[in-house]
C-alpha cells in the first residue's frame, strides 16, 4: 500500500515538474521571420472567422502582419509589447491565446480546477466502493451456514 | 451519503450557472451602436506620419488645435461611396465655421490613382493621406472601412463611428463634442 502511494506521488511530481518546465522554458524563435510568424499565428484576423493573421490574406490581416514585421524589424519592442500594441487597438478578441491574467485567467484556471475536482470525486467514489466490500464471515456466520447446510442434507 | 449530497450540490450549481448563461444570451441586446467602442477613446491619438497623394507631408500631431475628422476610405467600398456626399456636405459646412473641423481621408488598401479619380468625379477637396502598409489603420484598430474618427484639439481620440454615416450624424456628433469641450 505504501509503495503504491509512493509511485503515485512520484508520478504526480514528475508531471508537475514537466508542466512547470514546459510552461517556463524559453526556446524562442531565432530569426526575425520566425518571430513575425509566431506572433501573427496567435493574432486573429479581425475580419475573418477563425483565421489567424498568419494564414489570412484579408486586407486587415495583411496590415497587421506588416505592422508586426515593421515592429520586429525596428527591434524596439518585445513580443509581449507587440501583442499588447495590437490588442490595445483591436481589443482582446484579437488574441487567439487568452492572457493568463485578470478574468482571462479563468480560461486556464477553470479546466485545471475541474480536473482536480473530478479526480477528488473519483477518489472519493472509489474509496467508498472499496469500503462497501462485504467483510469476511465470522466464525458465528460460518456456524449458521454449516447448520443450515446440515439441516438441508438431513431433509434430503 | 455525504458524497451523494456533494454531487447534488455541485450539479445544482452547474445547472444554475448554465441557466444564467442562457438568460444572458436571451436577454442581452446585440451591439448595434454606430458609435463604436475602442480602447483608444479618451487616449492620445496614435502618432501618424505619412504623405498625401499630392506629395505633401501629413503629421497628425501637427493638427493639434483643430478638431480633426479622419475618414478611412476605399474607392471600391459601397458604404464609402454611399456616405461620400454626406462628407462633402460636412466639409462644406465646417469650412464656413471659424472653429470648423478639418477632414482627412485615410486611404485603405487602395491606389492613389483610384482615389484621385474618385474625388475628381465626386468632389471633396480635402487631403487624402496614403496608408500603403496599413500602419495607420492598425494604429487605430480599423479592420473594415468606412470608419470615421474624431480627434479633439488636444489630440485626444473622442469618437469612433464604424460603418456608413447616416445623414447629420457626423455634424451632430462633432457639434456635441465641440459644445462640451474645454481645452
Q: What are B161's strand-pairing partners?
A: B35, B148
In three-state secondary structure terms, A144 is helix
Mutate to test the interface with A, among B5, B141, B145 (most CBs of A within 10 A): B141
C-beta atoms of A62 and B140 within 8 A: no
Q: Is A11 helix (H, G, I), strand (E, B) or coil?
A: helix
Give contacts of A89 with chain B, Cβ < 8 Å.
Answer: 39-40, 138-141
> What is the pLDDT, as a whole number, of residue B56?
96
Residues lower than pLDDT 50 in chain A: none
pLDDT at position A70, please? 94
* pLDDT on residue A19: 87
pLDDT, position B174: 95
Instruction: Tell me the three-class secondary structure of A15-63, residue by residue.
Output: HHHHHHHHHHCCCCCCCHHHHHHHHHHCEECCCCCCCECCCCCCHHHHH
Q: How many CB pairs under 8 A join A and B?
A: 56
Contact list, B139 vs chain A (CB under 8 Å): 67, 89
CA dihedral B163, B166, B169, B170 (to 10 degrees): 60
pLDDT (tens digit per residue) in B8-62: 888 899 899 999 998 888 887 665 566 778 889 999 999 999 999 999 999 999 9
What's the complex ipTM? 0.74
Least CB–CB distance from A125: residue in B3, B38, B39: B3
Can you give the pLDDT at residue B34? 62
pLDDT tens digits along B107-162: 999 999 999 999 999 999 999 999 988 999 999 999 999 999 999 999 999 999 99
CATH classification of B49-179, choosing from 3.40.30.10, 3.40.250.10, 3.30.470.20, 3.40.50.720?
A: 3.40.30.10
How many CA atoms lie within 13 Å of B143's alpha carbon, on the beta-carbon side?
18
CB-nearest to B39 from A60, A62, A89 is A89
Q: For residues B32 and B100, which has the higher predicted lDDT (pLDDT)?
A: B100
The residue among A45, A83, A89, A123 with the most chain B CBs within 10 A of its CB, best to mutate, is A89
Please state the domain extents for chain B: 1-30, 49-179
Least Cα distance to B61 among B42, B48, B52, B72 occurs for: B48
Amino acid at each position: 500500500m505504501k509503495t503504491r502511494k509512493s509511485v503515485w506521488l512520484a508520478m504526480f511530481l514528475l508531471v508537475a515538474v514537466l508542466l512547470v518546465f514546459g510552461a517556463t522554458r524559453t526556446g524562442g524563435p531565432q530569426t526575425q521571420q520566425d518571430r513575425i510568424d509566431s506572433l501573427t499565428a496567435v493574432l486573429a484576423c479581425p475580419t475573418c472567422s477563425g483565421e489567424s493573421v498568419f494564414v489570412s490574406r484579408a486586407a486587415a490581416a495583411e496590415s497587421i502582419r506588416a505592422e508586426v514585421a515593421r515592429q520586429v524589424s525596428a527591434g524596439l519592442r518585445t513580443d509581449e509589447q507587440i501583442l499588447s500594441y495590437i490588442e490595445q487597438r483591436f481589443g482582446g478578441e484579437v488574441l487567439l491565446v487568452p492572457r493568463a491574467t485578470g478574468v482571462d485567467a479563468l480560461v486556464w484556471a477553470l479546466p485545471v480546477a475541474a480536473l482536480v475536482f473530478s479526480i477528488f470525486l473519483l477518489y472519493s467514489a472509489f474509496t467508498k466502493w472499496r469500503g462497501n466490500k462485504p467483510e469476511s464471515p465470522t466464525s458465528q456466520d460460518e456456524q449458521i451456514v454449516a447448520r443450515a447446510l446440515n439441516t438441508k442434507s438431513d431433509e434430503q | 451519503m455525504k458524497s451523494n449530497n456533494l454531487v447534488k450540490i455541485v450539479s445544482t450549481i452547474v445547472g444554475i450557472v448554465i441557466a444564467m448563461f442562457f438568460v444572458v444570451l436571451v436577454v442581452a441586446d446585440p451591439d448595434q451602436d454606430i458609435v463604436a467602442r475602442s480602447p483608444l477613446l479618451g487616449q492620445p491619438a496614435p502618432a501618424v506620419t505619412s504623405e498625401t497623394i499630392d506629395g505633401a507631408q501629413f503629421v497628425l500631431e501637427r493638427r493639434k488645435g483643430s478638431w480633426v475628422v479622419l475618414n478611412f476610405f476605399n474607392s471600391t467600398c459601397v458604404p464609402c461611396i454611399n456616405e461620400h456626399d454626406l462628407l462633402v456636405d460636412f466639409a462644406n459646412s465646417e469650412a464656413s465655421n471659424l472653429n470648423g473641423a478639418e477632414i482627412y481621408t485615410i486611404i485603405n488598401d487602395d491606389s492613389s490613382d483610384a482615389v484621385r479619380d474618385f474625388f475628381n468625379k465626386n468632389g471633396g477637396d480635402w487631403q487624402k493621406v496614403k496608408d500603403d502598409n496599413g500602419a495607420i489603420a492598425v494604429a487605430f484598430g480599423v479592420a473594415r472601412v468606412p470608419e470615421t474618427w474624431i480627434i479633439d484639439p488636444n489630440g485626444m481620440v473622442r469618437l469612433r463611428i464604424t460603418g456608413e454615416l447616416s445623414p447629420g450624424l457626423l455634424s451632430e456628433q462633432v457639434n456635441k463634442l465641440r459644445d462640451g469641450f474645454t481645452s
